[in-house]
Structure 1
Amino acid sequence: MIYGVFFSISVMVSGFLLFGGIISALVSLSLVGLWLGMEMNFLGAVAIMAGLSVEETESVIKYFIIQVVGSSILILAIMMLISACLMLLTESLILLSLMVKLGVFPFHFWIPSVMATLSWMGCFVVSVFQKIVPIWMMSSMNISSSLSFMVEICAGITGLLGCLGGLSMLHFRVLLSYSSLIHLGFMVILCMVNISLFMMYLLIYSILNMGLMMGLWSTSTYSFLDIMNFSSRTQEQQLFWVSLYLFSLAGVPPLTGCFLKMLFLNSCWVMFPLGCVILVLSSMVSLFFYIGFFLCLTVPLSQSAFLKSSNGTLWGVLGIMSVVLNLVLGYMMFISVGLM
Structure 2
Amino acid sequence: MSIRNFSFSWSLVVISIIFSLSSPTWFGAWVGMEMNLFGAVALMVGSTKQSVDSVFKYFFAQSFGSSVIIMGLVMGGWVGLGPVMACLVLGLMVKVGAAPFHFWVVEVLKGIRVECMWFLLTVQKLVPLMLVTQVGQGSWALFVCSGLSVLVGSISGVGATSLSRLVGYSSIAHTGWSLAACISGMSVLWFYLLAYWISLTGFLRFSKGDWRLSSWGGEGLASCFFLFSLGGFPPFLGFFGKLAVMVAVVGACPLLLIPLAVGSVVSWGYYLFVVSFSVIQSSLVTTSSSRLLVPMLVMSVPYLMGMHLVL
TM norm. shorter chain > 0.5: yes
Does residue 276 (structure 1) correspond to residue 278 (structure 2)? The answer is no
Does residue 248 (structure 1) correspond to residue 256 (structure 2)? The answer is no
Report 1:111-126 matches (<5 A).
111-126=105-120
**TM-aligned CA deviation for residue 339 of structure 1:** 10
- Tell me what 2:147 maps to: 156
The CA distance in 1 between the partners of 2:197 and 2:265, in whole Å, is 20
Which residue, out of 77, 85, 88, partners 2:78?
85
Paired residue secondary structure (2:252):
coil
The CA distance in 2 between the partners of 1:208 and 1:323, in whole Å, is 15
- Tell me what 2:215 maps to: 226
The CA distance in 1 between the partners of 2:132 and 2:126, in whole Å, is 10
The CA distance in 2 between the partners of 1:93 and 1:206, in whole Å, is 28
The CA distance in 2 between the partners of 1:263 and 1:202, in whole Å, is 11
Report 1:59-74 matches (<5 A).
59-74=54-69
Does residue 181 (structure 1) correspond to residue 162 (structure 2)? The answer is no
- Tell me what 1:310 maps to: none
Cα 1:113–1:92, aligned 2, differ >3 Å: closer, same or farther? same
CA contact (8 A) 1:211 1:322 kept: no
**TM-aligned CA deviation for residue 328 of structure 1:** 1.8
Cα 1:323–1:209, aligned 2, differ >3 Å: closer, same or farther? farther
Cα 1:315–1:73, aligned 2, differ >3 Å: closer, same or farther? same
Report 1:193-208 matches (<5 A).
193-208=184-199
Paired residue secondary structure (2:184):
coil
- Tell me what 2:31 maps to: 36
Aligned-partner residue type, residue 277 of structure 1:
I
CA contact (8 A) 2:23 2:29 kept: yes
Q: TM-score, normalised by structure 1?
A: 0.85
CA contact (8 A) 1:221 1:227 kept: no
CA contact (8 A) 1:242 1:322 kept: no
Aligned-partner residue type, residue 283 of structure 1:
S
Aligned-partner residue type, residue 92 of structure 1:
A
The CA distance in 2 between the partners of 1:74 and 1:322, in whole Å, is 44
Which residue, out of 275, 279, 287, partners 1:315?
287
CA RMSD after TM alignment:
2.1
**TM-aligned CA deviation for residue 240 of structure 1:** 2.7
Paired residue secondary structure (2:102):
coil
How many residues align structurally? 309
CA contact (8 A) 1:182 1:279 kept: no
Does residue 299 (structure 1) correspond to residue 280 (structure 2)? The answer is yes
Aligned-partner residue type, residue 154 of structure 1:
C
Q: TM-score, normalised by structure 2?
A: 0.92
Moved runs in structure 1, 4+ residues, more than 3 A? Answer: 318-323, 335-340
The CA distance in 2 between the partners of 1:19 and 1:51, in whole Å, is 21
- Tell me what 2:247 maps to: 266
CA contact (8 A) 2:90 2:141 kept: no
Aligned-partner residue type, residue 141 of structure 1:
V
Structure 1 range deviating more: 291-300 or 21-30: 291-300
> % of aligned pairs identical?
28
**Which entry has the higher C-alpha Rg, 1 or 2?**
1
Report 1:135-146 matches (<5 A).
135-141=129-135, 143=137, 145=138
Does residue 333 (structure 1) correspond to residue 300 (structure 2)? The answer is no
- Tell me what 1:311 maps to: none
The CA distance in 2 between the partners of 1:226 and 1:19, in whole Å, is 38
The CA distance in 1 between the partners of 2:144 and 2:177, in whole Å, is 12
The CA distance in 2 between the partners of 1:285 and 1:12, in whole Å, is 41
Cα 1:138–1:300, aligned 2, differ >3 Å: closer, same or farther? closer
Structure 1: which 5+ residue stretches go unaligned?
1-5, 229-235, 308-313
Cα 1:142–1:338, aligned 2, differ >3 Å: closer, same or farther? closer
